[in-house]
Amino acid sequence: MENILLYIILFAPLVSAALSYFLTKKWAGETLVGFSLLVLLAAIMAWFKQPVSSGFELDWILAGNQNFSIGLYYDQLAGIMTIVVAIVALLVAIFSMEYMKHDGGQPRYFAMLGLFAFSMYGIVLASNLLLTFVFWELVGFSSYLLIGFWFEKDAPPISSFKAFLMNKVGDIGFLLGIFILYAFFKTLNIQELIGLDPVNAAIPNGLLIALGIGLFLAAVGKSAQFPLQTWLPDAMTGPTPVSALIHAATMVAAGVYLMVRVFPMLAPEVLTVIGIVGGITAFMGAFAAFAQNDIKKILAFSTVSQLGYMIMAVGAGFPVAAFIHLTTHAFFKAGLFLCSGSIIHYYHETNHTAGFDPQDIRNMGGLKKVLPFTFMAFTLCMLSLAGLPLFSGFLSKEMILNGLVSADHLPSFVLVFGFASVFMTAAYMARLYFKVFFNQQVAGEKYAEAVSVKVPLLTLSSLSIGFVFSMNPLSPDDSWLLSVLTSYKGIGIADHFVWVPILSIGLALSGLIFSYLYIERKMLSGLVSGVKSLTYNLSNRNFYLDDIYDVAFVSGSKTLAKAAYWWDQKVVDRVVNLMGKTQVVLAYLIGWFDRRIVDGGVRLVTWLVNFAGNRTRQVQGGNLQNYLAWAVFGVLLIFYFFELMT
């Protein structure tokens, strides 16, 4: 059993899900925590024990002589990813035990989390694209269930529906990519495909681009890129720990992970598209985060923006930078979400005013004293997100920005978006930070955070420190992740530009200071209100994307559906009914004809016979004079006849 560790990582969460749902209902949370711990240990052991590029293949679907196999594959990429997912999953499970302690649906909740983890490890470990796709869809399914966890409320079912459908749009691209690869290479094994070098193989250029765009579309759906990003903010209607795990650290990162995996199959034209889409997403997300008042929505838009960074890095040709940012982002963003969970939980527990929205930052303030632990963790994670030196976010963001500068196939506005978003990220985070934690007017009493809240927060915020990823936290090139990933095909280390970190640190600091001055010192209000009056609605409504989709796609398909149904009823079916009716009318006509004409003819004949009979009957009336008269008449007739003959 050389691959036993891989099996454990993959199937332990599924077993846990089944147990939580059917057997250990009372201990559903504990079950998941136990199994998650097991997975984490297995993932760490795999890192040391499991040989790189190992795995196995099984036959799955045999059609003719073509075999669609499935299998698992382990390399450094998968290794790091499993550890990251396992850490966040474990911490979220622990956190959920406190957060969901009053909820009656706990078995269901923890079972769904287990199902999600199973699907996520599947994506990470799958050796071929078919199996990746299977788990890809299952991730979408478990995300659907988790977003809609509180199904009795109005909003969650709608946003879960939306999330699944938008992901499905992306999945179509994935399938298209798979079809193209299969049609030309008759294999879906990722390593084999990379070996066959699709970019330089004899594929028509149009299909090569379609292949890349298709695969990228999958990532656009799952990683919430423009123009499909609008499901992610809505997905915040799910429980907050779910948002931390799925919609910050793992599921949404799957798209980036896929791009990193299939990077060698992407044509240069496709990379340009990817870079542009990433840049637009990074900017739009950061922009939309400004005018939100829901704490989770701010973080969601921030996630959209950071995912844009990763996609930008892929487009620039530096998938490893994207992957490292994925790793660092997973920890600090999960940390931020769990902090927001801690805050929401606090308001839930203490404020029972009807109509009070525990997620609205306008209701918050002074939490620095109330939730000191959360405050500390939030500070660390936020600084990491802003990309300040000594924090993990700095390392990965520098790699991406350097990559952007050295990529000359991308239009320059992508680079501008990249730097502008650094400033904006710092600014919107600081706006949130100062509103929630300072702003003393609405402060409450100190609240004791539970251990199961403290442990995840402590862990995640310490993983946001730069030293975790690099001995020299000022130099991205010294990161141990880079040296681990050197064997990965497609690695390229960007040129190092001295001005890049200086500029980005400057932008980040000025963003922080800007918001500090505006929120805490009440300065710059003239400037801000001027900008606000111009852009508030655009930002608040996320560029009206949802409204556009409502008109273009939702109403459009509903109208089309109605039209199709009308056509079906009034045209297709009416023709059928008309044919039926014509038949009936025709039958009546024939019936009439039959009765009146055919039968009438028959009756005419009988009437004639009858008439003639009646007339001739009188001949034999027994009257002798008549007989004589007829006899004479007959003789005369005969004579006349002979006369005519001669």
Partner 1 sequence: MVMDHLLSWLVFVPLIAAVVMLTIPQSQGHLYKWVALGALGIVTILSLVLVFSFNQGIAGYGADSLQFTKQLDWINLNVGSFGSLLIQYYVGVDGLSLALVLLSAIVLFIGVISSWNIKKNVQGYFLLYMVLSTSVIGCFVALDFFLFYLFFEFMLLPMYFLIGIWGGKRRAYASIKFFIYTLIGSLLILMVMIGLSLSVVQGPDSTVHTFDIMKMMNPENYLPGSLLALDFDGQLLGLTYRAWAFILLIVGFAIKLPAVPVHTWLPDAHVEAPTPISVVLAGILLKIGGYGFYRIGYTIFPDGAIEYGWWIALFGVIAIIYAAFVAMAQADLKRLIAYSSVSHMGFVMLGMASLTVEGNAGALFQMFSHGIISALLFLMSGVLYDRTGDRMIANYSGLAGKMPLFCVAVILSFFAALGLPGFSGFIAEFLVLIGAFDGAINGSVVDTFMPVLGLLGLVLGAAYFLWTIQRMFFGKFWVREESWQLPDLNARELIMIIPLVILALFFGIFPGLLLDLANETVMGFVEYVNTQGHQNLELINAAVR
Among 154, 408, 445, 643, binds partner 1 (CB under 8 A): 154
- Of the pair 119, 292, the CB lying nearest partner 1 is at 119
Q: How far is Cα 397 from Cα 386, in angstroms, rounded to an integer?
A: 9
Sequence-ordered strand ranges (E) for 329-389: none
Residue 164 lies near partner 1 (rule: CB under 8 A): yes
**Min dist. Cβ of residue 63 to partner 1 (A):** 4
Residue 376 lies near partner 1 (rule: CB under 8 A): no
The backbone region for 536, taken as left when phi is positive above 0, alpha when psi lies in -120 to 50, beta otherwise, is: alpha
**Per-residue interface string for the shown chain with partner 1, residues 431-470, x marking contact by CB under 8 A:** ----------------------------------------
Residue 584 lies near partner 1 (rule: CB under 8 A): no
Tokens representing 64 are 């003719």
Residue 558 lies near partner 1 (rule: CB under 8 A): yes
Q: Find all residues with CB under 8 Å of 361, minimum gap 6, and list them.
A: 293, 294, 295, 298, 432, 435, 436
From residue 587, how far is each of 574, 578, 591, 598, 603 by CA, in Å?
A: 19, 14, 6, 15, 22
Q: How far is Cα 423 from Cα 417, in angstroms, rounded to an integer?
A: 10
Stretch that binds partner 1, among 147-155, 189-197, 503-511, 621-629 (CB under 8 A): 147-155
Q: How many CA atoms lie within 13 A of 392 on its CB side?
A: 25
Please check whether residue 545 is in contact with residue 227, taking contact to mean a CB–CB distance below 8 angstroms.
Answer: yes
Residue 517 lies near partner 1 (rule: CB under 8 A): no
Among 15, 45, 169, 450, binds partner 1 (CB under 8 A): 169
Among 560, 578, 587, 609, binds partner 1 (CB under 8 A): 560
- Amino acid, single-letter form, for residue 100: M
- Amino acid, single-letter form, for residue 355: G
- Of the pair 188, 463, the CB lying nearest partner 1 is at 188
Stretch that binds partner 1, among 321-329, 425-433, 529-537, 553-561 (CB under 8 A): 553-561
CB atoms within 10 A of CB 644: 7
Among 41, 138, 376, 465, binds partner 1 (CB under 8 A): 138
Q: What is the dihedral of CA 314, 315, 316, 321, to 10 degrees?
A: -10
**Min dist. Cβ of residue 67 to partner 1 (A):** 10
- Of the pair 150, 488, the CB lying nearest partner 1 is at 150
Q: How far is Cα 45 from Cα 64, in angstroms, rounded to an integer?
A: 40
Stretch that binds partner 1, among 176-184, 257-265, 428-436, 611-619 (CB under 8 A): 176-184
- Amino acid, single-letter form, for residue 532: K
Stretch that binds partner 1, among 167-175, 233-241, 246-254, 474-482 (CB under 8 A): 167-175
Residue 15 lies near partner 1 (rule: CB under 8 A): no
Q: How far is Cα 584 from Cα 607, in angstroms, rounded to an integer?
A: 32
- Of the pair 220, 282, the CB lying nearest partner 1 is at 220
Among 22, 51, 66, 362, binds partner 1 (CB under 8 A): 66
- Of the pair 566, 592, the CB lying nearest partner 1 is at 566
From residue 86, how far is each of 9, 111, 236, 550 by CA, in Å?
A: 9, 16, 22, 38
Binders of partner 1 in range 180-209 (CB under 8 A): 180, 182-184, 207
The contact set with partner 1 (CB under 8 A) reads: 59-66, 130, 133-135, 137-138, 141, 144, 148, 151-154, 156-158, 160-161, 164-165, 168-169, 171-172, 175-176, 178-180, 182-184, 207, 557-558, 560-565, 568, 572-573, 576, 580
